Structure 1
């Protein structure tokens, strides 16, 4: 019981971490897109 619970918590924390990484990547791409739009070359 204890081991199963620990495994579930580990999976949830991994998913959370992936979600945070995905969010950071989205913010970075938004910044890059805005920078390209604002630059004279864009």
Structure 2
């Protein structure tokens, strides 16, 4: 399967953002608001 480079980058960016947000959300959900804001602003 051939995937256009641009589409590939967009897909990986979305996956990375989702992964980071999920990790941040799990790890800092109970912590200070500043940490949560920092994580969700990705």
When the two structures are superposed, what TM-score results if normalisation uses the length of structure 2?
A: 0.57
Structure 1 or 2: more helix by fraction: 1
Max radius of gyration: which structure?
1
Bigger RCO (CA 8 Å, 6+ sep)? 2
How big is the alpha-carbon RMSD for the aligned residues of Structure 1 and Structure 2? 0.9
Q: TM-score, normalised by structure 1?
A: 0.57
Structure 1 unmatched runs, 5+? 30-42
Structure 2 residue ranges without an equivalent (≥5): 31-42
Moved beyond 2 Å, runs of 4+ = none
Q: How many residues align?
A: 27
